[in-house]
Structure 1
């Protein structure tokens, strides 16, 4: 069990087994490490030069102190030219992987504002993340028993108040990463639904007396058939593990707004009869990351006591090649009665989201946000670090602001008018699920989803790129699942709770 503390102690005098300081490109230590710089004096520039630390992002060096400062180990991390929350979060993550076998670590990174304190805590905990559930010998843990954030502002109320939200966010991101990293044979739609229900139960037990609980309703294949959820049933028809729709509700009495969160939860995507190439199928356990994000963001909102009503929908199915699998040419009827002609069984995410969006619309929220690993087109357009955001301008602006504050990269993308014609191009059904045109597939998918939003304010996050890190760990991002979207959704909920954003009620006119 790791404990966190804020202290005003000098980093040069702390007796923690390791002390972490930031380095700027001009060869000086970043704010928070002044006492360490003073202890080394003129020797500091020579030390940095000898170990090749130039203050650039990603640089890490461990230096035995030889008694120059009280801690036996000095960890130097490059911050880059802007020592803001994003840089601090990344640097703290790099430090976490550099420090192993230390019982206590003192972080003397820039931390004189609530945003920086949150960045230090989030970065260090997320950077030290490792998924070891399937390791027979998990190895050396990277998280020490005690982590101390050193800041002269430790006694300020707003600084102390930043610790709990940071811990809640990290817990949510870690839980989402664990779900996404779980092998797909162990996280089928029924198993994932059970895991969500268990997570809700555990979260509710941890809430204080009088706190608003989260309720959960799991709709199985019989309930989905009765409701007419043809998208979920069609996608799941080829799998031995039937689909589920999990609906969560968080309804505090003091809610200032109502948001609906909808997440794609394809627990494994083979592509169906449009089977994927082997290389493209290797990480398709990640295809349920959107559902993981909306569930964990909802539970985090309950822990934080945010005054925002949340209706969350996790659409869970496995896209496989069984004897009953849907075929190109089939027509499915979604929950709201819309008929859809199937042309590509590997464009399944939009079908399960159609049912979930239809359910969300019935709740009449102030805004709907859906999040999904939806299209490879968005990866081609934006790369593997940036999510695409589409929808109504005001809601898109809120999501982009939330993503920036959360340190998650996102970029606005259009839904051109001519996409509406493409979506309605089927000659036998209301909508075409796919039209075979190579260009703008991510925009087509968003236009398709818009058909199921009931005209309500809406934004769509396509997180196909940043949800899974196929390379080495970097900054606060581990190899494998990144938990992308959890922080953005939590930040969006906090923005809404503060009375800002498109979903916030308009101020009352003066009497």
Structure 2
């Protein structure tokens, strides 16, 4: 993990591999952003003109390298685009800072130390820049050989290691607000990166039992309570949804309850995560080309796990319970079949029409278990439907719920922390499509609006009177394209920051 510190040092005298500055897109060309004054002075106030000559415009994500001026102890200056210059008396938005820092951190892979002379107006900017550096510097190289013949089981790193140390210039090490912002950014980023690691881990190593063991280790480390139900306990208690989905795999399912409590807490949040450690589709086998990334189908459980641990690390005065519904969906002689009827933990029966609509089955059991504790609100997170990817693309997740005000609050929290989200409805007329002649409900309904149908199914398993929201992160959970901003290729850790922010707002009494 990249080490991150605050410093009031001037850029010229700092020993580092590079100095990172910001450049914005102004009305008449690139504009050097605040924080880079010393660098601009060393270029006789002509740094913007030099950058423009090199083709820089200040556009978001743009990166320009140039030699450091004479007298600097760092050999390189990296100018990173911040996007449009803010208006008079306005500050750069947190997300612009976060993305710029992430772009630079990715470009600095292999560097020992880098100084970030980007705009630091207040503690919020410190937090945004800290997250950008720590999230942008992420890499997952656990399974790569080091080139020295270490063998197929080697866990050495290959290629350039992440940036080792980042220094935020303009940050005040002795300022309580700045220190707190950096500590928060570190905790959030470290746990989000752990969620990314989980998503990126191959399914032969991250079975439900292995995931549960990782949660047990984290619980011991951070003083959390944990309960793990294995297949025998699940059968005894009647968790028909989780058992049905996991019945086709030799890797038996688990339900993990991870609890953080605080003596001063007045509210209780429950987070429920879909944890399909590999999804073949079961008997309703996925077509060729759709299986290769299905290790990511546990991204919701990874987000929930990371959020609970982060709440503990931050010491938030709110009780947070995470439910990880873990199973592997495989075809075999013991797998659930289309036409089978499962009796869920709630007592309701579900006719399984498609075994690839499995996420809603494990979530249904976990939602009912979470409801039994009567939390103030439940939020579930899942890579649930391809339909939502068609609706919102690969970078935006959907927010549904049984309370419009709460749905709006969740959406606002997501946007606040830089996670694109969009509120979606739960149209009542789509519920009829899940009527079954055999069971209480079917796990499939109308094809059109399939993501909304899935949300309606989940609503059936939320306890009466409990406020609930559903996040369908199928699009942004796994980045199959190139890295951008602070987002790497592969697992992204989508929804972690939204859940953490919801916990903070609840602790502050600001979440209705």
2:37 pairs, out of 22, 34, 54, with: 34
Please tell me whether the aligned partners of residues 96 and 142 of structure 1 are also in contact (alpha carbons under 8 angstroms).
no
Matches within 5 A, 1:214-225: 214-225=224-235
1:51 pairs, out of 46, 50, 54, with: 54
Does residue 179 (structure 1) correspond to residue 198 (structure 2)? The answer is yes
1:232 pairs, out of 220, 235, 242, with: 242
Does residue 131 (structure 1) correspond to residue 150 (structure 2)? The answer is no
Instruction: Give the Å deviation of 1:193.
Output: 1.2
Residue 431 of structure 2 corresponds to which residue in structure 1? 420
TM-score, length-scaled by structure 1: 0.93
Structure 1 residue runs without a partner (length 5+): 205-212, 503-511
Does residue 319 (structure 1) correspond to residue 325 (structure 2)? The answer is no
| Per-residue deviation, residues 280-338 of structure 1 (Å, max 9, x unmatched) | 11100000010011111101101110011112100001110010111111110110101
Please give the alpha-carbon distance, in whole angstroms, between the structure 2 residues aligned to 1:191 and 1:144: 29
2:378 pairs, out of 368, 371, 377, with: 368
Please give the alpha-carbon distance, in whole angstroms, between the structure 2 residues aligned to 1:240 and 1:332: 20
Instruction: Give the Å deviation of 1:86.
Output: 0.6
Instruction: Give the Å deviation of 1:125.
Output: 1.4
Does residue 305 (structure 1) correspond to residue 323 (structure 2)? The answer is no
Q: State the SS of the aligned residue for 1:5.
A: strand
Instruction: Give the Å deviation of 1:395.
Output: 1.9
Q: Number of paired residues?
A: 491
Please tell me whether the aligned partners of residues 268 and 319 of structure 1 are also in contact (alpha carbons under 8 angstroms).
yes
Residue 89 of structure 2 corresponds to which residue in structure 1? none
Instruction: Give the Å deviation of 1:142.
Output: 4.3
Does residue 445 (structure 1) correspond to residue 454 (structure 2)? The answer is yes
Structure 2 residue runs without a partner (length 5+): 87-91, 147-156
Residue 208 of structure 1 corresponds to which residue in structure 2? none
Please tell me whether the aligned partners of residues 364 and 458 of structure 2 are also in contact (alpha carbons under 8 angstroms).
yes
Matches within 5 A, 1:47-126: 47-67=50-70, 69-81=72-84, 82=86, 83-126=92-135
1:151 pairs, out of 151, 155, 170, with: 170
Residue 17 of structure 1 corresponds to which residue in structure 2? 17
Residue 339 of structure 2 corresponds to which residue in structure 1? 329
Q: State the SS of the aligned residue for 2:509.
A: coil
Residue 8 of structure 2 corresponds to which residue in structure 1? 8
Please give the alpha-carbon distance, in whole angstroms, between the structure 1 residues aligned to 2:96 and 2:490: 21
Q: State the SS of the aligned residue for 1:321.
A: coil
| Per-residue deviation, residues 92-112 of structure 1 (Å, max 9, x unmatched) | 111012124432211111122
Please give the alpha-carbon distance, in whole angstroms, between the structure 1 residues aligned to 2:444 and 2:214: 32
| Per-residue deviation, residues 162-210 of structure 1 (Å, max 9, x unmatched) | 11100000111110000000001111111111121122223x2xxxxxx
Which segment drifts farther, 117-126 or 3-12? 3-12
Instruction: Give the Å deviation of 1:129.
Output: 0.8
Please tell me whether the aligned partners of residues 300 and 382 of structure 2 are also in contact (alpha carbons under 8 angstroms).
yes
Please give the alpha-carbon distance, in whole angstroms, between the structure 1 residues aligned to 2:238 and 2:20: 57
1:136–1:460 CA distance, 2 compared to 1 (3 A): same
Q: State the SS of the aligned residue for 1:92.
A: helix
2:364 pairs, out of 332, 351, 354, with: 354
Residue 343 of structure 1 corresponds to which residue in structure 2? 353
Q: State the SS of the aligned residue for 2:242.
A: helix
Please give the alpha-carbon distance, in whole angstroms, between the structure 2 residues aligned to 1:70 and 1:193: 48
Please tell me whether the aligned partners of residues 125 and 143 of structure 1 are also in contact (alpha carbons under 8 angstroms).
no
Which segment drifts farther, 155-164 or 425-434? 155-164
Q: State the SS of the aligned residue for 2:411.
A: helix
Please give the alpha-carbon distance, in whole angstroms, between the structure 2 residues aligned to 1:451 and 1:481: 30
| Per-residue deviation, residues 32-77 of structure 1 (Å, max 9, x unmatched) | 1122122212432331122211000111122111416442110110
Does residue 483 (structure 1) correspond to residue 502 (structure 2)? The answer is no
| Per-residue deviation, residues 324-365 of structure 1 (Å, max 9, x unmatched) | 111111110110101111101100000000100010001100
Please tell me whether the aligned partners of residues 389 and 396 of structure 1 are also in contact (alpha carbons under 8 angstroms).
yes
RMSD: 1.4
Please give the alpha-carbon distance, in whole angstroms, between the structure 1 residues aligned to 2:160 and 2:508: 38
Please give the alpha-carbon distance, in whole angstroms, between the structure 1 residues aligned to 2:159 and 2:169: 25
Does residue 410 (structure 1) correspond to residue 421 (structure 2)? The answer is yes
| Per-residue deviation, residues 14-36 of structure 1 (Å, max 9, x unmatched) | 33221100100121111111221
| Per-residue deviation, residues 377-409 of structure 1 (Å, max 9, x unmatched) | 000000000000000212212211221121111
Instruction: Give the Å deviation of 1:141.
Output: 4.2
Please tell me whether the aligned partners of residues 241 and 318 of structure 1 are also in contact (alpha carbons under 8 angstroms).
yes
1:347–1:63 CA distance, 2 compared to 1 (3 A): same
Q: State the SS of the aligned residue for 2:61.
A: coil
1:434–1:152 CA distance, 2 compared to 1 (3 A): closer
1:334–1:3 CA distance, 2 compared to 1 (3 A): same
Please give the alpha-carbon distance, in whole angstroms, between the structure 2 residues aligned to 1:240 and 1:5: 46
Please tell me whether the aligned partners of residues 137 and 163 of structure 2 are also in contact (alpha carbons under 8 angstroms).
no
Please give the alpha-carbon distance, in whole angstroms, between the structure 1 residues aligned to 2:380 and 2:5: 36
